[in-house]
Structure 1
């Protein structure tokens, strides 16, 4: 007995491309029949795991949070165990040396104290608070530069004002200035002038006699400042002589000392007139014309410049000569 299987239903794609039984099927159609067309996924799904895996050993670079390590306390060891009231009492009674209790001021500021509140509790003004803190920092820099202990001990009592004046100098300059202060027993005013002269000396490069003074010697820097001040006065005059004498007192190098002595003895090499005024090297003011002012002129006249209070009379009385020079054939009037 024969049984016929029911025909398998054709899909839409197979029904459309079903070949005729009388024709040989095309090879590409056979390939299409074996392929299943599926929509291409837009993205590949990924699985995110929220569990953390432990590797057993971790390096500092892989750690997100580093353990906090507080900086070392700037306070001396004898003050670290004190509470706020104890620190205020140390400042109020000035217990110890100035550079020892000076770090207590910034420690109180970190706790919320203002300069005015510290002044009310201790009697130390805001200006003195700043001076103590800065001078203690300058002293620490001198300790790091390995300055002589005998030089450093000079500032133990009442040396805050002296060290404060040299705060703007470099580490090497501070050490040299501190030695000079100790050697010459300078007061705060003298330390201020010394620091100002050492800071200003490199900026005066190119001034007259600048190369005769030595930059590494604090006395030469101070002497050059007095030497420059002497040249601001008329020669001869008491002010000029006094400034040169002060420069001679503080100078250190022999070369600079010789130049100052030449100035005092009148051997500077400058020619002077009979009335005591300089006869060579007089600076004359020059007024430069703007472009276009002489564009339409047939001749150019250069006149001497006089002060506003002298008026036209000084110009008329000035001796001059008229000569033709240059391409424009102008008239030059000289006095």
Structure 2
């Protein structure tokens, strides 16, 4: 007798079948990444896709699970700004590497650096690309034999070279730095701004300077603006690379102790000077040095009435106030407010040094926050700040067209010959020299100037390299 085999073992008990469930069965959810959303023109109302409520996926239909028409999921990419435009996802910026090195693998890039294949400014970007991939200067040196100092010099020099490629710098001169000694020359220009780098590079090419000479030139151009008010400074042109270098040597000659040591520096200054006013000032100094060496009595030159007086003129630095251990809150008066506002501005009444609480004798609307510089701290109780819209109204020639704050002491009103004072003329607050006021018969002013504060200056184009070991 034949028997049929069952897939389930026999059971002695009654068998019960599982009743069918009336609930809908749970289906497996599929999710799809939408790379593009195409919205053709025309179609439905506001808030609905123009093509009848269906999302058209690349490589899929419009309805069902495969097409995603009833999934209810929002696309991961934002819709285009207007119908008919294809949404463009983010693309990384183009590679900074030259075309010849862009498709090289890691081993080939290391070989290029190891064998110095190509021009230095062409393979210098390879160093930056390796750094972005996790290489350290030490690991690059181990693989290529290029020291960390050389790596830094090449990277910075290539950035300086790229900054010189502009309308201000002749294209035929850039090839002067293509030789292997070019990085040493360009590296010294890293602390100059874009305009100064152009002038320094032209001067270096014209004079065939070596790295040491370029370093002296760059330092003199960087230091020149900081020497405002020094003797002879106004005779030299700040926009001339030769004048900046000539003034640095001119200043060294004046710092020499022995008179015979002054002449070599003055001769070197005369060799690079470019403007006629600067040349005349150096020649005058040479004549005085020769007369002194001959034993003649030489009168000191009269002070330039347009030169900056001995009043501190400081420029704020971004973040300086936040890093200062002591800050001052001083009342501000506009130049159009008149001398009455200077007297009405509040004065410091009481100070709690431990908690930093300051009380004033009256309310005021405008205040200035300044670092606790020593000259300002000394007059904090009677200090007032005058806001000038144009710094060129200051009574010295080196003033620039920029807003400035003049910190003045209201306690010192008596005019003396060497001082700088705030007073009212023509309904406006002005700053004048004491000797000029005495010549006009004015013996009392509103306040004496303590210091002049200039706004921070952007120097984003300065290239600074890391000093790698």
The two structures have a TM-score, normalised by structure 2, of 0.45
What residue in structure 1 maps to residue 91 of structure 2? 69
Distance 1:78 1:273 in 2: 67
Q: 1:197 aligns with which of 214, 220, 223?
A: 220
Equivalent residue runs for 1:141-290 within 5 Å: 141-157=163-179, 158-234=181-257, 237-266=259-288
Aligned to 1:247, the other structure's residue is in SS state: helix
What residue in structure 2 maps to residue 59 of structure 1? 80
Distance 2:150 2:188 in 1: 13
Kindly tell me: are residues 188 and 274 of structure 1, through their superposed partners in 2, closer, same or farther at Cα, counting changes over 3 Å? closer
Distance 1:226 1:152 in 2: 28
1:161 is displaced (CA, Å) by 0.7
Kindly tell me: are residues 259 and 52 of structure 1, through their superposed partners in 2, closer, same or farther at Cα, counting changes over 3 Å? same
Distance 2:104 2:271 in 1: 50
Higher strand share: 2
1:145 is displaced (CA, Å) by 4.5
Count of matched residue pairs: 226
1:272 is displaced (CA, Å) by 11
1:183 is displaced (CA, Å) by 0.1
Distance 1:139 1:280 in 2: 44
- Contact 1:131/1:160 (<8 A) preserved: yes
Q: Deviations over 1:1-48 (max 9, x none)?
A: xxxxxxxxxxxxxxxxxxxxxxxxxxxxxxxxxxxxxxxxxxxxxxxx
Aligned to 1:68, the other structure's residue is in SS state: coil
Unaligned runs of 5+ in 2: 1-70, 303-377, 379-469
1:122 aligns with 2:144: yes
- Contact 2:260/2:293 (<8 A) preserved: no
Kindly tell me: are residues 183 and 277 of structure 1, through their superposed partners in 2, closer, same or farther at Cα, counting changes over 3 Å? same
1:274 is displaced (CA, Å) by 6.4
1:234 is displaced (CA, Å) by 3.4
- Contact 2:266/2:282 (<8 A) preserved: yes
Unaligned runs of 5+ in 1: 1-49, 282-289, 291-335
1:276 is displaced (CA, Å) by 6.8
Higher gyration radius (CA): 1
- Contact 1:273/1:279 (<8 A) preserved: no
What residue in structure 2 maps to residue 81 of structure 1? 103
Task: Name the Cα RMSD after superposition.
Answer: 3.1
Q: Deviations over 1:55-93 (max 9, x none)?
A: xx92369xxx98331111000001011000000111111
Distance 2:182 2:239 in 1: 23
- Contact 1:271/1:278 (<8 A) preserved: no
What residue in structure 2 maps to residue 285 of structure 1? none
Distance 1:260 1:115 in 2: 47
Distance 2:149 2:74 in 1: 58
Kindly tell me: are residues 70 and 162 of structure 1, through their superposed partners in 2, closer, same or farther at Cα, counting changes over 3 Å? same
Kindly tell me: are residues 152 and 280 of structure 1, through their superposed partners in 2, closer, same or farther at Cα, counting changes over 3 Å? closer
1:99 aligns with 2:121: yes
Aligned to 2:204, the other structure's residue is in SS state: helix
Distance 2:98 2:158 in 1: 12
- Contact 1:102/1:133 (<8 A) preserved: yes
Aligned to 1:231, the other structure's residue is in SS state: helix
- Contact 1:220/1:250 (<8 A) preserved: yes
Distance 1:161 1:187 in 2: 8
Identify the structure with bigger relative contact order (alpha carbons < 8 Å, sequence gap 6+).
2
What residue in structure 2 maps to residue 12 of structure 1? none
1:109 is displaced (CA, Å) by 1.1
- Contact 1:201/1:215 (<8 A) preserved: yes
